[in-house]
Amino acid sequence: MPIYEYECASCGGIFEAIVDIGGAPSKCPACGSRECKKLIGAPAVHVKVDHATARIEKRVKDYLKDGKVSDAVRFADKAASMVKSDRVKRVADRLHERSGK
């Protein structure tokens, strides 16, 4: 069965759902709304990168909360080399400025 991407009209979340051809629109896993728009032609890999980016940002924030700036820099550098994401790269760049390296 095909996997489609949907964008929720209520909360703006993007999610993937496996749907039968001609099946009913999916429900947003975040807010339960059925006001979801199918994204046509958007490759699923983009969603995965976005989720990874969100996890990376959260982990960086956790490091910073604990005052572990150098750990955050190391982690962000590693993440930026693994995840080809401009957003992750910006996070890493900001951390470098912040840590003065």
Query: Binding residues for Zn ion, per CB under 5 A?
Result: 8, 10-11, 13, 28, 30-31, 33
CA-nearest of 80, 92, 90, 31 to 52 is 80
Judged by CB, which is closer to Zn ion: 9, or 82? 9
The distance of closest approach from Cβ of residue 77 to Zn ion in the complex, given in angstroms and rounded to an integer, is 33
d(Cα 31, Cα 56) in Å, to the nearest integer?
A: 23
Judged by CB, which is closer to Zn ion: 3, or 11? 11
The distance of closest approach from Cβ of residue 24 to Zn ion in the complex, given in angstroms and rounded to an integer, is 16
Cα-based distances in Å from 36 to 13, 27, 31, 83: 9, 7, 11, 28
Judged by CB, which is closer to Zn ion: 26, or 92? 26
CA-nearest of 56, 43, 45 to 90 is 56
The distance of closest approach from Cβ of residue 73 to Zn ion in the complex, given in angstroms and rounded to an integer, is 34
